[in-house]
């Protein structure tokens, strides 16, 4: 049996000092010793440091410590515990060095504490002047640096998160996060920040990360509007979802780490239990235990809050590209509710107009879908929506009562670039994304609690600036 070690990786604007109590708990539970429990530190507030830099340095350090050999082959079975941004760091490292040879990856168990797998609503604030004052560095030579490149990756709907999901989740041979390869456990709190930090709170978060964005149970959907000869159809890419996921009461983004000071705290017990799972059957039992804890957490919080901040949410990341794969940075999305009999071949006929009830319901649904929208600051072809599924469920029930069988549709609009470059608006149909009367359909389901759904929209860009003629042009 190979020797075992444990690695702890912190998040943005943090360091290993925050995890001293965690190391004490690990030693008490015989998960490791002083010499086999290692802290992984990286300077997250250097403006020039990138995720590539972090994982390159991490790989070098693992070689120097003898955890992997010079070729990257494992010499030790490795438990990894990460917090926040550390989730993206470890995913990037595993993909970069082991995606073609996962059998040589030393990681056996991976515990993610409130990971920023699909971003944080605070990241783009961290790049602001206020963020620089609060989190920025004060050393001579790097005055007020905030780790801009890492924050770009952490921002909601970042191209980095989109690319990372395609690297380790949407793979042809399935994700390696499963009970037989890398046993992944994700634990996140449901509580907002209190006191002065409460001004940053957003619905559906633990104060810093989106709860739905911590989970890796993602799917990707695609709609191609670029070919006039091909009907618009959904394309679906699923990912493996064989991991443990738990939403815990009473913890926010910071206290999920701080509670390791208590030997008998829930987070301490669950983390130690996950690190001592030996086989696939025990992992399955642990998965079921976390599902029950999550259900109890939401039940206990269902009556709290004034704006349904403790409801179950779903995050959507929408990316628009043209038929050449280039980003479309200026677009809008609209949602509608119609009577189901107005839908033909999964689109709403252009000649079918609203009645007053449909118009009112559509306005309400549009407001609900777009109330938490964020366009990525670096590339606005990526947009993020956060949807309260409790409110969506209420609207659907209301639509059923007022319309009978109904359909929900989505339409994208893209303005012209200039007088000679535009997008083919004729192809941008009003596509049905849900039907209440559907019994069997090839269209994928759209709404899933505590998940992130990626949607890629492809549109046809045209130009009149290129011509062919038998006569010369003046």
What is the reported pLDDT for 432? 87
Residue 226 within a domain: no
Burial-class residue 163 by CB neighbours within 10 Å (0-12, 13-18, 19+): exposed
For the entire predicted model, the pTM comes to 0.92
CATH of the domain at 44: 3.40.50.1820
pLDDT at 398 over 90: yes
Q: How many domains does the chain have?
A: 2
**pLDDT tens sequence across 140-166:** 444 456 788 999 999 999 999 999 999
Query: Strands, E, within 47-86: which ranges?
Result: 77-83
Residue 225 within a domain: no
Same domain, 30 and 172: yes
Give the model's confidence band at 357: pLDDT under 50 very low, under 70 low, under 90 confident, else very high: very high
Same domain, 330 and 412: yes
**pLDDT tens sequence across 180-239:** 999 999 999 998 876 655 556 678 899 899 999 999 999 899 988 888 777 777 777 777
Same domain, 100 and 202: yes
pLDDT at 136 over 60: no
Query: Checking DSSP bridges between strand 343-344 and strand 347-348, what pairing results, if any?
Result: antiparallel
**pLDDT tens sequence across 238-254:** 776 789 999 999 999 99
Residue 71 makes CB contacts below 8 A (sequence gap 6+) with none
Give the model's confidence band at 54: pLDDT under 50 very low, under 70 low, under 90 confident, else very high: very high
CB atoms within 10 A of CB 143: 10
Inter-helix orientation angle 86-98/51-64, to 10°: 70
What residue numbers bound the domain in which 273 lies? Answer: 4-220+236-301
What is the reported pLDDT for 145? 62
**pLDDT tens sequence across 28-40:** 999 999 999 999 9
CA distance 473 to 246: 67
| Mean pLDDT confidence for 53-57 | 98
CA distance 367 to 388: 11
Residue 358 within a domain: yes
**pLDDT tens sequence across 71-119:** 999 999 999 999 999 999 999 999 999 999 999 999 999 999 999 999 9
Give the model's confidence band at 138: pLDDT under 50 very low, under 70 low, under 90 confident, else very high: very low
**CA 232 to each of CA 34, 195, 406: distance values in angstroms, whole numbers, following the listed order:** 59, 50, 20
What is the reported pLDDT for 342? 87
């Amino acid at each position: 049996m190979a020797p075992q070690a444990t690695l702890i990786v912190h998040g943005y604007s943090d360091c290993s000092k925050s995890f001293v109590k965690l190391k004490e708990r690990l030693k008490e539970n015989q998960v490791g010793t002083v010499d086999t429990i290692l802290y992984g530190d990286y300077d997250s507030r250097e403006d020039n440091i990138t995720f590539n830099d972090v994982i390159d340095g991490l790989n070098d350090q693992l070689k120097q410590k003898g955890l992997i050999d010079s070729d990257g082959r494992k010499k030790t079975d490795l438990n990894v515990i990460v917090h926040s941004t550390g989730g993206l760091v470890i995913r990037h490292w595993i993909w970069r060095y082991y995606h073609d040879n996962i059998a040589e990856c030393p990681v056996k168990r991976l515990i993610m504490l409130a990971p920023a797998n699909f971003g944080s609503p605070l990241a783009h604030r961290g790049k602001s002047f206020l963020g620089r004052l609060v989190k920025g560095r004060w050393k001579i030579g790097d005055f007020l640096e905030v780790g801009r490149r890492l924050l770009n990756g952490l921002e909601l709907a970042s191209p980095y998160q989109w690319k990372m999901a395609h690297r380790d989740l949407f793979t042809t041979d399935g994700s390696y996060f499963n009970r037989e390869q890398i046993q992944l456990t994700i634990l996140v709190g449901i509580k907002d920040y209190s006191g002065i930090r409460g001004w940053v709170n957003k619905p559906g978060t633990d104060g810093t990360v989106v709860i739905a964005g911590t989970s890796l149970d993602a799917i990707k959907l695609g709609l191609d509007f670029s070919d006039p000869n091909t009907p618009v159809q959904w394309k679906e890419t699923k990912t493996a979802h064989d991991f443990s996921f738990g939403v815990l009461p009473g913890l926010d983004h910071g206290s999920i780490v701080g509670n390791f000071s208590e030997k008998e705290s829930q987070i301490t017990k669950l983390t130690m239990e996950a690190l001592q799972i030996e086989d696939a059957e025990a992992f399955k039992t642990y998965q079921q235990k976390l599902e029950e804890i999550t259900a109890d957490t939401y039940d206990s919080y269902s009556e709290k809050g004034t704006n349904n901040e403790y409801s179950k949410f779903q995050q959507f990341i929408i990316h628009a590209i043209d038929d050449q794969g280039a980003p479309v940075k200026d677009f809008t999305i609209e949602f509608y509710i119609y009577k189901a009999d107005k839908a033909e071949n999964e689109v709403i006929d252009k000649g079918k107009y609203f009645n007053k009830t449909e118009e009112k319901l559509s306005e309400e649904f549009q407001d609900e879908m777009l109330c938490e929208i964020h366009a990525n600051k670096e590339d606005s072809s990526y947009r993020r929506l956060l949807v309260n599924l409790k409110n969506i469920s209420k609207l659907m029930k209301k639509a059923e009562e007022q319309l009978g069988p109904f359909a929900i549709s989505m339409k994208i609009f893209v303005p012209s670039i200039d007088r000679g470059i535009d997008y083919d608006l004729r192809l941008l149909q009003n596509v049905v994304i849900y039907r209440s009367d559907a019994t069997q359909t090839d269209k994928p389901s759209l709404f899933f609690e505590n998940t992130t759904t990626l949607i890629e929209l492809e549109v046809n860009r045209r130009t009149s600036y290129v011509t062919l003629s038998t006569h010369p042009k003046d």
